[in-house]
Chain A
Amino acid sequence: GEDVEQSLFLSVREGDSSVINCTYTDSSSTYLYWYKQEPGAGLQLLTYIFSNMDMKQDQRLTVLLNKKDKHLSLRIADTQTGDSAIYFCAFMDTGRRALTFGSGTRLQVQP
């Protein structure tokens, strides 16, 4: 099964860029995802990348995929206080056809 690791916490100042990292073990996933979870809320899909891509940009979000190192990252440009949340990387378990999540990175944005 998939083993996914994320750092627990990241603190940045408003206006700076944030980079949230994720490492994984199973390279068979077709899709790799980033989800956002705000307090008391469900999971919101932010963006995803196909495994045959290296990079995807979506407004302030940039996803980088390094398949050789099994490393996925999410960069948030011009980070705002509203970006404060927990961010999860997730992979589709190709055997079970369901999402496997990392443990989450709590992003704190200081004004």
Chain B
Amino acid sequence: EAGVAQSPRYKIIEKRQSVAFWCNPISGHATLYWYQQILGQGPKLLIQFQNNGVVDDSQLPKDRFSAERLKGVDSTLKIQPAKLEDSAVYLCASSLRKGATTEAFFGQGTRLTVV
């Protein structure tokens, strides 16, 4: 079974530029999560999708971050414009159904450096 795929693995941008991350969840997984992991901290939930609908985006800085999950499969997370404090690893995870976190699988993440 293929795991959660994320790209790119690494990205370096200057502040005020824009960036996008892509996630392909495990086939058949209805729930998709984006987490932000700042160095030295645990992952923090940014947004949760159930199929193509947003379940929770209360922690997403909506003035600069946006995410979508067209057709309920792949998802993209965008930052525009980026700030220095956005430097982090962005992790995507998927699970079979909402709340079934015993079945959540994480991708390797995208490491973003904003200079």
Chain A interface residues toward B at CB < 8 A: 4, 31, 33, 40-45, 48, 88, 90, 92, 96-104
Q: A31-B101, A42-B109, A98-B48 are in contact. Are A103 and B41 (CB under 8 A)?
A: yes
List 17 contacting pairs A-B, 8 Å CB cutoff, sorted by A.
Answer: A31-B101, A41-B108, A42-B109, A45-B102, A45-B105, A48-B102, A90-B42, A97-B55, A97-B98, A98-B33, A98-B45, A98-B101, A99-B43, A100-B45, A101-B43, A102-B42, A104-B42
Residues from chain B with Cβ under 8 Å of A4 in the complex:
42
The complex places the Cα of A103 from the Cα of B42 at a distance, in Å, of 4
A96 CB contact (under 8 Å) in B42, B45, B102, B108: B45
Residues from chain A with Cβ under 8 Å of B93 in the complex:
43
The complex places the Cα of A101 from the Cα of B101 at a distance, in Å, of 12
Q: Shortest beta-carbon distance, B38 to chain A, in Å?
A: 10
Chain A residue nearest in CB terms to B59: A96
Within 8 A of A (CB), among B76-99: 91, 93, 98-99
The complex places the Cα of A90 from the Cα of B104 at a distance, in Å, of 12
Residues from chain A with Cβ under 8 Å of B104 in the complex:
45, 99
Contact A103 B33 (CB under 8 A): no
Contact B48 A96 (CB under 8 A): yes
Contact B101 A99 (CB under 8 A): yes
Return the CB mask of B31-56 against A: 1 if under 8 Å, else 0. Answer: 00100000011111100100000011
Q: Shortest beta-carbon distance, B23 to chain A, in Å?
A: 11
Q: Shortest beta-carbon distance, B99 to chain A, in Å?
A: 4
The complex places the Cα of A45 from the Cα of B45 at a distance, in Å, of 17
The complex places the Cα of A7 from the Cα of B5 at a distance, in Å, of 31
Residues from chain A with Cβ under 8 Å of B72 in the complex:
none
Contact B91 A98 (CB under 8 A): no
